[in-house]
Structure 1
């Protein structure tokens, strides 16, 4: 199940987060911002690397940075939604 379109738009607005990053999150079972907001960047990168059978996602500072930025955006979106 993919991210809802409005949540996908939130993620695509984040520098370094594109369709591939979102697709990798979905591959490891992250399908909404609420789940992403509670995730750990290092754990997600390790899970993605395991899913792909390639260590690049686990070892890449760029990948880790993109996942961390996506998590921050999800947390910010959750805080903004709660304030409404």
Structure 2
């Protein structure tokens, strides 16, 4: 089940997570807490790099921190 509006706002409140990160997660099919909680940070970063055509997803400490925060948030929701 896709994120509820309340979940979206809660996720966006996580450090480093903005609307673009949320949009990319949704494009990857990681649009509910169970899927996101089960996801691997490295896999998400690889997919993000492939999706955007930019290596910054794989190489950026900020991107890694934001995705890790999103995954931890999802784990706390379940």
TM-score by length of 1: 0.85
Distance in 2, Cα, partners of 1:10 & 1:37: 15
Distance in 1, Cα, partners of 2:11 & 2:38: 15
Runs of 5+ in structure 2 lacking a partner?
none
- Report runs of 4+ in structure 1 exceeding 2 Å deviation: 1-4
Larger radius of gyration: 1
TM-score by length of 2: 0.91
Q: Deviations over 1:13-64 (max 9, x none)?
A: 2111111110111111111111100011111010010011111101111001
Question: What is the root-mean-square deviation of aligned Cα atoms in Å?
Answer: 1.5
Runs of 5+ in structure 1 lacking a partner?
79-84
CA contact (8 A) 1:34 1:74 kept: yes
In structure 1, the residue matched to 2:26 is 26
How many residues were matched structurally? 78
In structure 1, the residue matched to 2:42 is 42
Is 1:4 aligned to residue 4 of structure 2? yes
In structure 2, the residue matched to 1:72 is 72
